[in-house]
Chains A and B, each alone.
Chain A
Amino acid sequence: MTQKVSQSLMPRNSRRREQVAVFSIAEYSFVISAASVQEIRSTDSLGGTVVEMDRPVLRKVRHIVERDARAYYVVSGYEHFHLPQSRPTTVLILRSAPVAVLVDRIEEMAEMRVLLALPQSFRGEERTWYRGLTVLDRKVLPVANPLGFLTAGDLQQLEEQNPGLLQSAAAQRVERGRG
């Protein structure tokens, strides 16, 4: 979250650079700020800490994962972006929201030098999904908004239908750690 959105490409040195992770879901690549990601894990290494939700209210959220005394809603990346079913092998645990995103794979870490505004012609959910667009290796890629995977409304809905679930999942994890 280091730079203002721009309408056009500017001389590279006039802007702050941002470290990003490039990830893929289905046939598409996306960028996310490395600063917004707390941890990147293989889905295989999360087995024991995943809890299935009794009352899933959003199609894209069916599980909770516990990490370091915190619990996160697991968001299916392909369902979030309305893509065909894919094979997620990696989970991005976010820093700024109780969200862990399932993605197919991490392609690379890179340096983002420009963040371009999403054109006004885009009127749909993508305005929430993306902070803007960037250009990496001469390709235009969308920059994922870490707060767009679950909006405040989504989080409220999840909490209302599963009151205290996140907190209790995290608390159980702490208890287990003490035992």
Chain B
Amino acid sequence: MNMETGSLVPSFVVFQVGRRRVALSREDVAELIASPLLFSFPHTTPLITGVVLRRGRIVPVLDLGPALLGAPSPPARFFLVVERRISNISERCAIPVQGECELVAGIMMPAAEQDDFVSGCLELNDEQIDVLDLEKAIAAGARAEAETITAGEALP
């Protein structure tokens, strides 16, 4: 994935979670990496499936599947490393993605989608691609996962 564009038109990284193609602003994305070894340990934070070691740093892995698909996303060959701002601290996280990632330039249009984590949409080869607000998507995924767990606990 080539991250260099000289255009003034905003650019976006289009990626796939499960069967759903979505986009993030290029500024949110640091790199695309081949799926490294995932380490998991007990914790209670929704969406985090483990951590990976990347250039000597610990990078949490966040599955957007619960927000975008309503279920965990399938196994991934690549992780999209994104930049988050948490309590004014910048932190990199890895999102498991399926299929190809593309860097595209385009104008974001208002979203037709009702999901509150969709900040707009791109038209790409007659396809409407939702552009995500990453923090809202993470929050929505956390809510969805919590609801799934609550429903599961309520089962006899």
Chains A and B come from one and the same complex:
yes
| B63-116 interface with A by 8 A CB criterion | 84, 86-87, 89, 91, 93
Q: A8-B57, A116-B58, A135-B53 are in contact. Are A124 and B41 (CB under 8 A)?
A: no
Q: With a CB–CB cut-off of 8 A, which chain B residues contact A30?
A: 41
Q: Which residue of B39, B41, B42, B60 is within 8 Å of A119 (Cβ)?
A: B60
**Bound CA span A83–B39, Å:** 16
> A139 contacts the other chain (Cβ, under 8 Å)?
yes
**Bound CA span A129–B44, Å:** 11
| A82-108 interface with B by 8 A CB criterion | 82-83
Q: B57 near A121 (CB under 8 angstroms)?
A: no
Return the chain A residue nearest B93 by Cβ: A121
Q: A121 near B42 (CB under 8 angstroms)?
A: no
Q: B41 near A122 (CB under 8 angstroms)?
A: no
Q: A135-B53, A140-B51 are in contact. Are A122 and B45 (CB under 8 A)?
A: yes
Q: How far is the CB of A79 from chain B (nearest CB, A)?
A: 11
Q: Which residue of B39, B45, B55, B84 is within 8 Å of A126 (Cβ)?
A: B45
Q: How far is the CB of A74 from chain B (nearest CB, A)?
A: 19
Q: A141 near B41 (CB under 8 angstroms)?
A: yes
Q: A122 near B57 (CB under 8 angstroms)?
A: no
Q: B53 near A140 (CB under 8 angstroms)?
A: yes
Q: A126 near B43 (CB under 8 angstroms)?
A: yes
Q: A122 near B42 (CB under 8 angstroms)?
A: no
Q: With a CB–CB cut-off of 8 A, which chain B residues contact A139?
A: 39
Interface size range on B against A = 20 to 34
> A59 contacts the other chain (Cβ, under 8 Å)?
no
> B33 contacts the other chain (Cβ, under 8 Å)?
no
**Bound CA span A124–B42, Å:** 10
| B113-156 interface with A by 8 A CB criterion | none
> A146 contacts the other chain (Cβ, under 8 Å)?
no
Q: A119-B91, A120-B86, A139-B39 are in contact. Are A7 and B57 (CB under 8 A)?
A: yes
Q: How far is the CB of A43 from chain B (nearest CB, A)?
A: 21
Q: Which residue of B39, B40, B48, B55 is within 8 Å of A122 (Cβ)?
A: B48
Q: A120 near B91 (CB under 8 angstroms)?
A: yes
Q: How far is the CB of A112 from chain B (nearest CB, A)?
A: 15
Q: B58 near A83 (CB under 8 angstroms)?
A: no
Q: A8-B56, A116-B58 are in contact. Are A125 and B44 (CB under 8 A)?
A: yes
**Can you sample 9 A-B contacts with CB below 8 Å?**
A8-B55, A9-B56, A28-B41, A122-B48, A124-B45, A126-B42, A133-B58, A139-B39, A140-B39
Q: Which residues of A contact B (CB under 8 A)?
A: 7-9, 28, 30, 81-83, 116-126, 129, 133, 135, 139-142
